[in-house]
Amino acid sequence: MELNYKVLGERIRAKRVEKGYTQDKLAAVIGVSNPHVSNIERGRTKVSLPTLVDICNALDTTLDELLCNDLRQGKAIIDQDIAAEIEQCSEKDSKVIYSIVKAVVGCLKDM
């Protein structure tokens, strides 16, 4: 899965506005130029990890919050991870896991 820099930039912009910062203020706090912040928010440049961490610290947010994809993509990744784990199990163990998952899902639906 490739990082969508445009969506990331939109999330950064929303957090910046929520915090009451201008692009100039954010740029000053994290030590980059105003045009660089503008390009990040528009998805025109790939933000480096150190700069992204600085942005998170300045905006009192987390990498997870900025990087998370929509729920369907996130669920697809989790589903793939679960399937990969189960593939390593024996058929007997897979049946046990299936029974457990089915019971848990039933309980969650009742909540």
- 93-104 pLDDT tens trace: 999 999 999 999
- Express each pLDDT in 62-87 by its tens digit: 888 888 754 456 677 778 878 888 99
pLDDT band at 22 (very low <50, low <70, confident <90, very high): very high
* pLDDT at 1 (0 to 100): 54
**Number of neighbours of residue 40 by Cβ within 10 angstroms:** 26
Taken in order of first residue, the domains within the chain and their CATH numbers are 5-67 (1.10.260.40), 71-110 (no CATH)
* pLDDT at 10 (0 to 100): 93
What the block records as the tokens of 17 is: 């506005």
Residues 6+ apart with CB under 8 A from 62: 56
Output the CA–CA distances (angstroms, integers) from residue 102 to 48, 75, 90, in the order listed: 42, 17, 18
* pLDDT at 70 (0 to 100): 47
Q: Side chain identity at 47, as an amino acid letter? A: V
